[in-house]
Structure 1
Amino acid sequence: MAEAGAHITSTAGNEQPSIFEVLAQESLMEAVRPALKHAVKVLAESNPSRFGFLWRSFDELYLLLDVLLQNHFLSHCSASFSENFYGLKRVSGGRGPGVGLGLSRKSHWRSLLLLCLAPYLRAKLEATLARLRDEEDFSIRLAQTRSQRLYRAAVAAYPYVSSAWQVWIFCQQLLFVFGVTKTHSPLLWLARVKLARLNTRDIRDMEQKTSNTSSPPGGSLVQRAWWLMGQAARGAAVSLSTSLSLGVFFLQFLEWWYSSENQSTVKGLTSPPAPPPPLHLQQGWSEDGKNCPLCRRPRTNATVLSTSGFVFCYRCVYTYVKANRRCPATGYPTELQHLIKIYSPES
């Protein structure tokens, strides 16, 4: 809907984008991360020994790719990847809407940090708080130290902080709709920039800049080496941006396919087959059905791993999964939320 509204409301005489355009470009980047994460998860589960590190270091690898991509577009198009995809550019807050391409050095680095580092820190914070909530639910140990009490306070306060941030975003967008403010997002306001539509002069400047950077300099060896490094980084960014541009429809389809609203329909139409048994087990692995495979003693507080189906003592498998983040039998990527308590008829 937002994408269709963006084209309907676009007018050649208005430099300021509509609310539909700015929301459409935000939804584009929000669809990229979960789709790539799902693809990496599928690779890691298919071959843990080869692709497991991609899943374990996904946040850092995505940050590196995001910095490379966004820095390329900020340098050449004065916009992020999604903003440039929808024909938008960034201009400094105090400059007129008709100004050409080019951000100041401070605006460039502020934009890059807020575009890449802010989502990374938020994702790491949410993952840490989710892990702490799991530990609270499992009740492995009571929080007695000062740091653990601070963790509990952070877990309790985060929903209120997140709600306040969402309220700020909503108010900013509402003010943007009524023309009170020039920015629709607090991140743009913190970067001291605003969005405007690209014009024919901007497109001509981008083409000229691309042609100028394609010819090697005639200076010293150091300058040539620096130019080659820049060309390699620019080529990687262009290849990445082209792949993302071609895969926009596919990524948005994945977002719809794995949405909670669509899962009930998908489950009604398809009944997935039972998963096959693990094809590769750790050397020397055996299970007799009564003893825990880790401690070799009768299981206490039996717990099954949903990723592999093996049953262990709760304390044994909790300690192992927390330290290694994989199944001890199959090596499949595993998290603490994959532990499932088994209740016997006698309990």
Structure 2
Amino acid sequence: MLTRVCGQSKTQCTHETMAEHGAHITTASVDDQPSIFEVVAQDSLMTAVRPALHHVVKVLAESNPACYGFLWKWFDEIFTLLDLLLQQHYLSKTGASFSENFYGLKRIVMGDTHKLQRLASAGLPKQQLWKTVIFLVLLPYLKVKLEKLISSLREEEEYSIHPPTSRWKRFYRAFLAAYPFVNMAWEGWFLVQQLRYILGKAQHHSPLLSLAGVRLGRLTVQDIQALEHKPAGASMVQQPAGSVGEKMKSALKQAVGGAASCLSTGLSVGVFFLQFLEWWYSSGNQETIKSLTALPTPPPPVHLDYNSDSPLLPQMKTVCPLCHKNRVNDTVLATSGYVFCYRCVFNYVKSHRACPITGYPTQVQHLIKLYSPEN
């Protein structure tokens, strides 16, 4: 009887031990790997910040072009530089990007076991850090530039009078035709990876994480404690005196770190305000705003006419105000109503984004070709 009871106890103990071990493994896996909602939310955070900042810069540039025009002209480069400082600071100090740290995540080097994982406060190793910087900062910048180039080529192709005959123009026409399929394949690659992540078939929700050699995980209690105590401990350490070059290098490093810290703090405080701006200036909301604040169409510029002595306008109505020759391929600007040669006004508007006579903001799509009965 005692043997049977002992045997049952032994079996029961064995089952309980295996159950506890299995529960531990399951809990560790679930606690460590973030859900699809968390990773998608952190991906969309910086995507929401960029258009909001873009609109703020646009408002500033329109209100005072002399002071803030350069911000609009070089927005992509300035944003990329600030993004580089921000991401490099967070990757080296918290082991995660700004948005990942905002949602309590960190980057774990592939191959590290649970016991050998680095603390988030130690940052990423240099190899994974620079790979991550390339995929987080440089790749989005190149993608934005490529999309702007595609848009420019499509405008030129759409509003060009003469069909392209050169080899280069035939090449970019083929490129324009192939780009939508390439973009669809790129987005499909990310979609398939997200589906595999949802089904538990992959450790990465994005292929870029796999290329960088890292995966996302949640911050542990030890990580949070280390992140909270690191700045205080670091501030107490006194740097030994060294040469002038080392002091300058240390001062420059501290200045860059301080700028990144100020930038990250400002973004943390204003991220929700920027998301509100993105909603406020969305296309659907703008239609409601325009209907409520619609203004009447302004009258034409009465101070400029053909009877005045303005040097901007020729005396003869058949002469182009830009080249001062008889107009060829008459084209009118919808924003001002003045007529020019197509080639003259196309090049001017493409470069200056304004009417040559009135200075009204003008785009290439505002050009309207005129066809006379003689033609």
User: Normalising to structure 1: TM-score of the pair?
Assistant: 0.84
Higher mean alpha-carbon deviation, 242-251 vs 293-302, is at 293-302
Give the Cα separation in 2 of the matches to 1:41 and 1:315.
29
Instruction: Letter of the 1:170 partner, please give it.
Output: L
Give the Cα separation in 2 of the matches to 1:54 and 1:285.
33
3-state DSSP class of the match of 2:333?
Answer: strand
Q: Residue 36 in 1 paired to residue 53 in 2?
A: yes
Q: Which residue of 76, 79, 84 corresponds with 1:59?
A: 76
Alpha carbons 2:330, 2:371 under 8 Å: kept: no
Higher mean alpha-carbon deviation, 257-266 vs 142-151, is at 257-266
Q: Which residue of 337, 343, 346 corresponds with 1:318?
A: 346
Give the Cα separation in 2 of the matches to 1:327 and 1:201.
62
Residue by residue, what CA displacement relative to the aligned partner does 1:81-100 show, whole Å, maximum 9, x if unpaired?
11111111111122246722
Identity %: 50
3-state DSSP class of the match of 2:32?
Answer: coil
* 312 and 43 in structure 1: CA distance in 2 versus 1, 3 angstrom threshold: farther
Instruction: Letter of the 1:311 partner, please give it.
Output: Y
Higher mean alpha-carbon deviation, 296-305 vs 21-30, is at 296-305
Q: Residue 217 in 1 paired to residue 217 in 2?
A: no
Give the Cα separation in 2 of the matches to 1:248 and 1:104.
28
Deviation at 1:12, TM superposition (A): 11
Q: State the structure with bigger RCO (CA 8 A, min sep 6), 1 or 2.
A: 1
Alpha carbons 2:87, 2:97 under 8 Å: kept: yes
Give the Cα separation in 2 of the matches to 1:238 and 1:277.
51
* 15 and 131 in structure 1: CA distance in 2 versus 1, 3 angstrom threshold: same
RMSD value over aligned CA atoms? 3.1
Give the Cα separation in 2 of the matches to 1:334 and 1:206.
51
Deviation at 1:13, TM superposition (A): 6.6
Deviation at 1:328, TM superposition (A): 3.8
* 241 and 303 in structure 1: CA distance in 2 versus 1, 3 angstrom threshold: farther
Uncovered stretches (5+) of structure 1, i.e. residues with no partner: 1-10
Deviation at 1:275, TM superposition (A): 6.7
Return the index of the structure with the highest Cα Rg.
2
Question: For this pair of structures, how many residues does the alignment match?
Answer: 330
Alpha carbons 1:15, 1:97 under 8 Å: kept: no
Correspondence for 2:205: 184
* Correspondence list, 1:73-222, <5 A: 73-96=90-113, 99=117, 100-101=119-120, 102-214=123-235, 215-220=237-242, 221-222=244-245
Correspondence for 1:255: 278
* Correspondence list, 1:189-338, <5 A: 189-214=210-235, 215-220=237-242, 221-272=244-295, 286-287=312-313, 290=317, 292-296=320-324, 301-304=330-333, 306=335, 309=336, 311-313=338-340, 314-329=342-357, 335-337=363-365
Uncovered stretches (5+) of structure 2, i.e. residues with no partner: 1-27, 305-309
* 142 and 194 in structure 1: CA distance in 2 versus 1, 3 angstrom threshold: same
User: Normalising to structure 2: TM-score of the pair?
Assistant: 0.78
